[in-house]
Structure 1
Amino acid sequence: MITAENLTKKFGRKEVLKEMDFFIEKGETVGVVGPNGAGKSTLLKILATIMNGTSGTVHIDGLDAKKEKKKTREKIGYVPQEIAVYHELTARENLRFFGKLARKSSEESWMRRCEEWRLAEHLDKKVKHLSGGNQRKLNILIAMLHDPDILILDEPTVGIDISAKHEIVNDLRQLGSEGKTILYSSHDAQELETLCSSFLILKEGELLFYGSKQKVRQFGSVTQSKNFAETLGEIVG
């Protein structure tokens, strides 16, 4: 589904990503993990076709992400860290506006998602009056308007309360059960453990580890008494 081969990214002389190779299968939910400055956001932007790698290739469902951007973007929903919606418009107005851009979207389909995500009762509120959790939900739902096969999320629950985080993680788990491929970046180990079946672990621009949740413990060489958060902490340092 997603293949990276010898993927590198440089900003001037600084090498932010260093010869990465991995293959993500359809339907996987992958945690993208690492300390600040590890290259997580850069990697996600390249996979989402927002940024080009300096060298190497990325293929999304057989498409060259650099050469076939338009077709590739039809398969991807990208959720940035910032709330990328119009705060002076209502949630409904935002969904209608971005839905027209998405073309494939129908009001019936996004209304159904809003009901599932407990946002329907807030649709006629201006975004600036929504809770942080509901703003984050709206941000994700807009990325899903064209019903993408792949959802790429860069710290989508940052700055919201624990209850709202749990709701979003559970909703994303449901999307995973529907067969969506999800890449999820977060510093919250509990979220990652609950949601993700495998992990890409980055450190200083290098791919330190890619594998299943079970293999994370083995890679970390830690005792079984340590919990998952401590395991991740040891690996990324």
Structure 2
Amino acid sequence: MIAANQLTKKFGKKEVLKEMNFFIEKGETVGVVGPNGAGKSTLLRIIATIMKANNGTIQISGLDAKKDMKKIRQKIGYVPQEIALYHELTARENLRFFAKLAKCRSEQGWMKRCEEWKLAEHLDKKVKHLSGGNQRKLNILVALLHDPDILILDEPTVGIDITAKQEIVNDLRQLGNEGKTILYSSHDAQELESLCTSFLILKDGELLFYGSKQKVRQFGSISQSKNFAETLGAIVN
């Protein structure tokens, strides 16, 4: 589904990603974890074709990210850490605007999602008047308008309360159950444990580990006596 081969990215002389190799299967929910500066956001942006690598390749379903960017973007929904919405427009106006850009003519699909995600009653509120959690949900729904196979989320629950976080994690888990491939970056170890089936662990631009949740405990010198969230927390921070 997503294959990286010798993926390298530099900013000036600084090597931000260092010859990464991995293969993500269709339908996986992958936690992209590591301390600040590990290269997580850079990696996600390259996979989303927002940024180009200096060397190496990314392939999505056999398509090359450099040669087939337009086709790949049809398969991907990208959710940045920042709220990428028009705050003076209502939620409904935002969805209609971005749906038009995505050439999504029917409102039936996103209306159903709004009902499932408890946003339907807030559609006619301006984004600036929505709670932080509902802004985050709307940010994700915009990325889903064209029904992508892959959803890439860069810290999508930062700055919201625990209840809203849990609602979003539950909604994303349902998307995983529907067969979508999800890449999810977060510093919240409990979120990662609850949602993800496998993990990419980065540090200083290097891929230190890629594997299933069951194998995370075996990674590095983390004490085996810790529970999973503590183990992840030690890695992430």
Band the TM-score falls in, shorter-chain normalisation: over 0.9
SS of residue in 2 equivalent to 1:5: strand
Match of 2:207 in 1: 207
Match of 2:142 in 1: 142
Structural mapping, 1:34-183, within 5 Å:
34-183=34-183
Q: Distance in 1 between matches of 2:53 and 2:222?
A: 34
1:7-36 C-alpha deviation (Å, 9 max, x unpaired): 000001000000000000000000000000
| Residues 105 and 145 in structure 1, CA contact (< 8 A), matched pair in contact too | no
Deviates more, 1:193-202 or 1:225-234: 225-234
SS of residue in 2 equivalent to 1:78: strand
AA aligned to 1:179 is G
SS of residue in 2 equivalent to 1:219: coil
1:167-215 C-alpha deviation (Å, 9 max, x unpaired): 0000000000000000000000000000000000000000010000010
Deviation at 1:220, TM superposition (A): 3.7
Q: Distance in 2 between matches of 1:160 and 1:112?
A: 24
| Residues 35 and 235 in structure 2, CA contact (< 8 A), matched pair in contact too | no
AA aligned to 2:187 is H
Unpaired segments of 5 or more residues in structure 2? none
SS of residue in 1 equivalent to 2:92: helix
Q: Distance in 1 between matches of 2:172 and 2:178?
A: 10
SS of residue in 2 equivalent to 1:218: coil
| Residues 193 and 228 in structure 1, CA contact (< 8 A), matched pair in contact too | yes
Taking only aligned residues, the RMSD between alpha carbons, in angstroms, comes to 1.1
TM-score normalized by the length of structure 1: 0.98
Unpaired segments of 5 or more residues in structure 1? none
Q: Distance in 1 between matches of 2:202 and 2:105?
A: 35
Identity rate of aligned residues, in percent? 84
SS of residue in 1 equivalent to 2:184: strand
Q: Distance in 1 between matches of 2:168 and 2:233?
A: 23
Deviation at 1:66, TM superposition (A): 1.3
Deviation at 1:52, TM superposition (A): 0.3
| Residues 187 and 236 in structure 2, CA contact (< 8 A), matched pair in contact too | no
Is 1:28 aligned to 2:14, yes or no?
no
Q: Distance in 2 between matches of 1:234 and 1:159?
A: 21
AA aligned to 2:95 is L
Q: Distance in 2 between matches of 1:172 and 1:211?
A: 20
Structure 1 pair 37–105 and aligned structure 2 pair: CA distance change class (3 A) = farther
1:137-169 C-alpha deviation (Å, 9 max, x unpaired): 000000000000000000000000000000000
Match of 2:231 in 1: 231
SS of residue in 2 equivalent to 1:230: helix
| Residues 189 and 236 in structure 2, CA contact (< 8 A), matched pair in contact too | no
Q: Distance in 2 between matches of 1:13 and 1:61?
A: 32
Match of 2:216 in 1: 216
Deviation at 1:235, TM superposition (A): 3.6
SS of residue in 1 equivalent to 2:170: helix
